Amino acid sequence: MTDASDHGAPADAGAGFLTGPPPELPADQAALHLELLGSRFRALVDHVPAIVYVQPIASGPMIDVSPGIESLFGVPREEWLRDPSVWQRLIHPEDRTRVLEANRIADETGGPFREEYRAVASDGRALHIRDQSTLVRDAGGMPLYWLGFMIEVTDTVATQRELADATARYGALVEQIPAIVYVDIVDEDMSTSYVSPQIDALLGYTQQEYVADPDLWKKMLHPDDVDMALDAYLRGREAGGPFTLEYRLVARDGRVVWFRDSAVVIHDGDGRPKFVHGVMLDITDRKAAEEQVAFLAYHDKLTGLPNRTMFEELLELSIARARRHELGVAVLYMDLDDFKLVNDSLGYDAGDELLRQLAERLGEATRETDLVARPGGDEFLMLLADLDRSPAMPGGTDGGSIVAQSVALRVGQTLASPFILGGHEVYVTASIGVSLFPQDAIDTASLMKNADSAMFRSKKAGPGGFVVHADDDADALSRLSLSTRLRKAVENKAWTLHYQPVVTLEDGRMVGLEALIRWQEPNGGLVPPGEFIPMAEEMGLIEAIGDWVVEEICRQDELWRIDGLSTEISFNLSPRQLWQPELVSKIIARLAHAGMDPSRVVVEITESAAMTDPDRTQQILLDLHDRGVRLALDDFGTGYSSLARLKHMPVDVLKIDRSFIREVDADRDAQGMVSAMIALASNLGMTALAEGIETEAERRFLALRGCELGQGYLFSRPVPAGEILALHRRASLRVVDGEAG
Ligand code: C2E
Ligand code: MG
Ligand code: MG
C-alpha cells in the first residue's frame, strides 16, 4: 500500500520522484486504464486469494480495491475508497512506524514497496499481511498509479515461527549437549554437511575445518581403529538401520579421545539413503574406568606387577608360540627366604616396601621381554619366552636353559645389595625354582607345578640358590652346580682351543684358522662355548677366559712356526669383553711379547655386539686396527647394521652367518640376500667369508657369486691343534667326488 497523503513530505519540496506537482494525468487515460483493468482482470482480481488495489500517486483514497478487503479487515470497501487513513489505522502500532517509513521511501523513489506487517481487523483479529505494490507508468514512462496486492500470511507466519522456535530449541540442544552431532551426506566421500561446534573443544578442529575436509574423520582415527571403524560405518550405512560404533580419534593436540558414535540413516522419498545423522559421545572416562577395572583384574595392587591370572594366560600364549616355532620357555618361581622376619621385626609397611623395591629390582635383572609377576605373598614369577632351543653343539645344553640359569643367577646377585627400609639396611635372599618347556613339561599347569617344587627343593638345599627342575634329581644337582664348576674351570684353566681352517672357495686352500674354545670337563667331555660363554659373561668370568685364549694362541703359533706354519689366526670376542678397560693394550702387549705379527691376527666380533653401542665399539675397533690387528664382523646378517655405520667401521672381513648359507640350496630369497651381502662386502672393500659351508652345492653357489673365503664342515670341522699341520700339508681341503681334492 502506498499512501502519498501521509508521507509527510510537502508536495513541492526537493527533487524526489513524486515531489513535483502530480503530473496532469488526462482523466480519460486514467479512466481507460481502470476500465481495462475492470473488463479484463476484474474476474481474476475478484477471485485470487489476495486483495488487489489501485492507489493514486498523489494523496487520496484508493481508486479501486478487490471486494475481499471487506471480509479481511471487517471494513466496508466503500470506506476504503473514501477514507485515505483507514489503512494506517489498521496497522499494528508496533509495526506502523516501520511500514510508513518504507511507504514514504517507495513514494519518493518510485518503489517498489514490499512489506510484511501485522494488522488488527475491526473485530480485533490479529492478521499478518504481505503487502507489495508497483508503480505503473504510461508508454512515455509517466507514473500513472500504484498497483498493489495484499495477502494474508497469518498461517505461514505461525508455521515459520514454530519452525524457528524448534530450530532454536533443538539447535540449543544439539550445540549444548556434551557430544558432537553430525549430518553426513551419503556419498562416496562420506562428506559432512553439518557438525556441531563441540568438535572444537573435543578435537581441536573448527566446524568449518571439519566440513571442508571430508577425510578429516578418517585422518583423525586412531591407527589401530581405522580399519574397524571405517568398516563398521560403511556397513551400518549400507544396512540402512541405526548403528553404533566405538573408536578412538586423535585430537589436533595428540590427545586420544574415545567415542561412542550412534547414527541413523535418513532416506529420501524413494527410499534411497540420503543422510547419516549421528551423535558422537565422548566416552574416554568410561574407557579409562573399564581399563582400570581390567588392569586390577590382572595386576597386583601392591607392586603394579601382573598377577597370577595374567601370568598364566601369557604363559599359555608363550607355550603356543614356542610349539609353533620350536622355541623354549622358562618359568622361574621365586620365594623370599625368611620374609616373615622382615614383617615381624619392621612391620607390614616395611614388608610392603620391600616387595615394591624387589619388584623393581627384578625388572632390572630380567630382559626387557621377560615377564615378572607377583602371584601374592613373598612370591614372584618370571616368564622367559622365545628361548633358543638349539644346543650350541650336538648333545649340549640348549640355549634356553642357559638363559634361564643366568637370569636366576642375576636375580640372586640383585638381592646381594641391601634394601633400605625406613632407615634400616635389610639383606634378603630368595630361593628359585626353574622349569623349562619342553624339557620338563609341555603345559602351563605342569610348568607352574614343577617350578614350584624345584623352588622347594632349592629352599631345602639352603637359602639363596636355584634349582632347575628335572625328573632326575642327580641331573638337577649337576645343573645346579654349573656356576660352581665354571668357577673351578677358570681356576684350572680347563680350556682347549680347536681350530677350524679358513679356505679359499675357488680351490679349497687353507689360508687361516679360527680358534674356537672348548671346556674340558674332568669327566673327559668337551663343552661347546655356546653352553658356558653366556654364563661366564654373567658371572664376570669372561675376562679371565679371554686372556687365556690370546695367550694360548700366541703359544700355539710359536709351535706352528717352528714347524713351518705361519698363518692367519682369528679369535672371538664376546660383547662383554668389548667393555673391558685396557682390552686393546692387553692384546697388543701379549702379541708383542710372543713376537706375533698383529697383521696375522683377526679379531672377530658379532654384528649384534658391534651395533649395540656402535660409537664405543667403533673406537675400540679403530684402536685395534691402528695397531695392525685385522677385524672380522661375525654372524653378519643376524644383527641390524646401519650401512652408514658399516662404512666407517674398519672391518676387513664380513662373515656371512651360517643361517643364510644353510638356505641357499633351496631358498631363492636366501640366495638373493647372500648375493647382496657378497656385493656389499666388495663395495665396502671388505673380504666376504661364508660360514658353515656343508655341501659342494653351497660352495659352488658362493664361489660363483664371488665370495672369496669360507669355513665349514665341507672343508673341515674345528679340530685340535695337533691335526692342523696335516691339513696344512694338503693342497686343497675341498672334497671332490668323495675324496680330498
Ligand atoms: P662363531 O664365531 O660364529 O663360530 C662358528 C661356529 O660354527 C662354531 O661353533 C663352529 O664349530 C660352527 N661351525 C663351523 N662350521 C660349521 C658347519 O659347517 N656347520 C655347522 N653346523 N656349524 C659349523 P662353536 O665352536 O660352538 O662356537 C660357537 C660360538 O661361540 C662362536 O660362533 C663364537 O661366537 C663363540 N666362541 C667360540 N670361541 C670363543 C672364544 O674363545 N671366546 C668367545 N668370547 N666366544 C667364542
Ligand atoms: Mg667366529
Ligand atoms: Mg659366526
Q: Per-residue pLDDT tens for 27-85? A: 455 555 555 555 555 555 566 678 888 888 877 888 888 888 998 999 999 999 999 89
Strands 568-573 and 601-606: parallel
Q: Which atom of ligand 1 is nearest to the CA of 577?
A: 44
Q: Is the pLDDT score of 493 beyond 80?
A: yes
CA angle 59, 63, 65 (to 5 degrees): 125
Average pLDDT, the chain: 85
pLDDT value for 566: 95
Strand, coil or helix: 670: helix
Q: Is the pLDDT score of 591 beyond 90?
A: yes
Q: Which domains does the chain have, with CATH numbers?
A: 11-177 (3.30.450.20), 292-471 (3.30.70.270), 482-729 (3.20.20.450)
**Residues by chain with Cβ below 5 Å of ion ligand 3:** 634-635, 691
Q: Is the pLDDT score of 539 beyond 80?
A: no
Residue type, 312: E
pLDDT value for 739: 42
As a whole-number percent, the residues of the chain with pLDDT over 90 amount to 48
pLDDT band of residue 23 (cuts 50, 70, 90) is very low
pLDDT value for 410: 87
Strand, coil or helix: 504: strand
C-alpha 634 to ligand 3 mean position (Å)? 5
C-alpha 705 to ligand 3 mean position (Å)? 20
Q: Is the pLDDT score of 679 beyond 90?
A: yes
pLDDT value for 6: 41
| CA gap 331, 447 in Å, rounded | 7
Best probe residue, ligand 1, of 516, 545, 604, 638 (max atoms within 8 Å of C-beta): 516
Of 31-45, 89-103, 688-702, 707-721, give the lowest mean pLDDT range. Answer: 31-45
Average pLDDT of the residues in 409-433: 88
Helix (H) / strand (E) element for 6: namely: none
Average pLDDT of the residues in 162-180: 75
Say which DSSP state 492 is in.
H
pLDDT value for 477: 46
- Residue 52: beta bridge partners? 149
Average pLDDT of the residues in 645-672: 90
Q: Is the pLDDT score of 741 beyond 60?
A: no
Best probe residue, ligand 1, of 500, 572, 699 (max atoms within 8 Å of C-beta): 572
| CA gap 414, 445 in Å, rounded | 28
Q: Is the pLDDT score of 635 beyond 50?
A: yes
361 CB-near residues (< 8 Å, 6+ apart): 414, 415
Average pLDDT of the residues in 554-559: 96
Cβ proximity of 166 and 263 under 8 Å: no
Average pLDDT of the residues in 641-661: 89
| Long-range CB contact pairs, 448-452, < 8 A, 24+ | 448/312, 448/315, 448/331, 448/333, 450/331, 451/331, 451/332, 451/333, 451/381, 452/333
Q: Is the pLDDT score of 472 beyond 70?
A: no
Which protein residues are within 6 Å of ligand 1, measured from CB?
392-393, 500, 516-517, 528-530, 533, 549, 571-574, 577, 604, 634-635, 658, 691-694, 711-713, 718
Q: Measuring CA to CA, how many Å separate 721 from each of 513, 552, 631? A: 10, 11, 22
pLDDT band of residue 231 (cuts 50, 70, 90) is very high
Half-sphere exposure of 681 (CA within 13 A, CB side): 26
Q: Whose CA is nearest to atom 6 of ligand 1?
A: 692
pLDDT band of residue 395 (cuts 50, 70, 90) is low
pLDDT band of residue 361 (cuts 50, 70, 90) is very high
Strand, coil or helix: 51: strand
Q: Per-residue pLDDT tens for 238-297? A: 998 899 999 999 999 999 999 999 998 888 878 888 889 889 999 998 888 888 777 777
Q: Which ligand is nearest to the CA of 533?
A: 1
| CA gap 29, 50 in Å, rounded | 26
| CA gap 65, 376 in Å, rounded | 100
382 CB-near residues (< 8 Å, 6+ apart): 330, 331, 332, 334, 362, 366, 370, 371, 372, 373, 407, 411
pLDDT value for 200: 94
**In 10 A of CB 490, how many CB atoms?**
18
pLDDT value for 399: 72
Sequential DSSP letters for 15-35: S-TT-SPPP---HHHHHHHHH
pLDDT band of residue 345 (cuts 50, 70, 90) is confident
What's the pTM? 0.47
Cβ proximity of 117 and 129 under 8 Å: yes
Half-sphere exposure of 572 (CA within 13 A, CB side): 21
As a whole-number percent, the residues of the chain with pLDDT over 70 amount to 89
Average pLDDT of the residues in 177-184: 87
C-alpha 634 to ligand 1 mean position (Å)? 10
pLDDT value for 37: 53
pLDDT value for 223: 94
Q: Whose CA is nearest to atom 23 of ligand 1?
A: 692
- Residue 503: beta bridge partners? 510, 710
